[in-house]
Amino acid sequence: MSNVPPISPRDKAEILAQALPYIRKFHGKTMVIKYGGNAMTDPELQADFAEDVVLLKLVGINPVVVHGGGPQIETALKRLGKTGHFIQGMRVTDAETMEVVEWVLAGEVQQDIVGLIHQAGGKAVGLTGRDGGLIRARKLKMVDQADPSKEHDVGQVGDIVAIDPAVVKALQDDQFIPVISPIGFGDQNESYNINADVVAAKLATVLQAEKLLMLTNIPGVLDKQGELLPELTMDRIDELIADGTISGGMLPKIAGALDAARSGVNSVHIVDGRVPHVLLLEILTEQAFGTMIRSA
């Protein structure tokens, strides 16, 4: 950070003045942020993320953080001598793996994020889907891609049944920043591991968020030539899925983004979490980063 040239007071004032229209436009609005990738593991980017979230809260915007933790879960399972097993890109979650998922996501990862936000001067509270009955879930039915008549059992992986945002709204009203682990609970009090992109998208819909921002390790959605697609509509997304441009781990992100855009979230942004202070740049400046998805 030391190689950044100092900014003169006059330039600082100009920068703040340029942010003012965005602060006014988004004051009191909710922004759901899916936090993942390098932004979660690189110490400088972690600090940038925490500062951005705290600044947004201080200027009257309501950030809600949903985090993943795939690499951290993998590391913990390796330490226990367990090998991760995947079907169609989905982690098979038996009872022992689910225990590890819970203590890594709701313990280690969530509390790290809460600590970073406190360090940056904010007040964060960690939640899982159990807290306040936030995320009710049921077992995910995974249909075989090649043979739709066949189903795979992926264990305690969940589909969202309903989200009750009361606890999130209560925290927001009390000046806290909610940090949510993507773990749901079922009718028999069982726990479910849920895709964090899906949780972020559904939560953005239920909270009627102004924006859903998904931090990734790529500049955004890229075409076959590797060029950034700054804006996508539903029809264009269907074409890109059909020709295989959008595949793998990008599919749940895009599916969630589309659902949110269709359900009233004003804009969905898939942004490059490797860019320092990307949240402030995306929300409080004219400069667009990554890919924006619109419903129409």
Is 45 domain-assigned?
yes
Domain that holds residue 42: 25-215+272-277
pLDDT band at 286 (very low <50, low <70, confident <90, very high): confident
Q: Comparing 254 with 49, which gets the higher pLDDT?
A: 49
Q: For the domain that residue 187 is a member of, what is the CATH number? A: 3.40.1160.10
Q: Comparing 248 with 146, which gets the higher pLDDT?
A: 146
193 is known to lie in a ligand binding site: yes
Q: Comparing 249 with 81, which gets the higher pLDDT?
A: 81
* pLDDT of 139 above 90: yes
Task: Specify which of 5-19, 48-62, 146-160, 239-253 reaches the highest per-range mean pLDDT.
Answer: 48-62
Q: Which sign does the torsion angle of CA 214, 219, 223, 226 carry?
A: negative
Is 192 domain-assigned?
yes
Is 133 domain-assigned?
yes
Is 239 domain-assigned?
no
69 is known to lie in a ligand binding site: yes
91 is known to lie in a ligand binding site: yes
Residues 6+ apart with CB under 8 A from 176: 123, 124, 125
> What pLDDT does 1 receive?
46
Is 295 domain-assigned?
no
CB 226 within 8 A of CB 220: no
Q: Which three-class secondary structure state does DSSP give residue 227?
A: coil
Is 222 domain-assigned?
no
- What's the rounded mean pLDDT across residues 153-182? 95
* pLDDT of 2 above 50: no
* pLDDT of 211 above 70: yes
Nearest CA among 81, 108, 86, 111 for reference residue 96: 81
E strands present in the chain = 30-35, 62-67, 86-87, 90-91, 124-127, 135-139, 142-143, 151-152, 158-163, 177-180, 183-185, 191-193, 211-216, 231-232, 267-272, 291-293
The pTM (predicted TM-score) of the whole model is 0.92
Task: Specify which of 78-87, 159-168, 253-262, 264-273 reaches the highest per-range mean pLDDT.
Answer: 159-168
> What pLDDT does 12 receive?
80
CA 68 – CA 112 distance, rounded (Å): 12
Domain total of the chain: 1
CB 32 within 8 A of CB 213: yes
CB 258 within 8 A of CB 6: no
Task: Of 21-25, 37-41, 147-151, 169-173, give the lowest mean pLDDT range.
Answer: 37-41
> What pLDDT does 4 receive?
58
pLDDT band at 66 (very low <50, low <70, confident <90, very high): very high
Is 163 domain-assigned?
yes
Nearest CA among 41, 40, 98, 46 for reference residue 73: 98
Nearest CA among 213, 195, 225 for reference residue 275: 213
> What pLDDT does 136 receive?
98
* pLDDT of 295 above 80: no
CA 149 – CA 22 distance, rounded (Å): 50
> What pLDDT does 86 receive?
83
Q: Comparing 41 with 205, which gets the higher pLDDT?
A: 205
Is 190 domain-assigned?
yes
CA 60 – CA 191 distance, rounded (Å): 34
Structure tokens at 106: 């709701």
Q: What is the pLDDT of residues 31-56, one digit of tens each?
A: 999 998 778 888 999 999 999 999 99
Average pLDDT of the chain, as a whole number: 90
Structure tokens at 163: 């989200």
Q: Comparing 22 with 236, which gets the higher pLDDT?
A: 22
Nearest CA among 64, 12, 69 for reference residue 36: 69
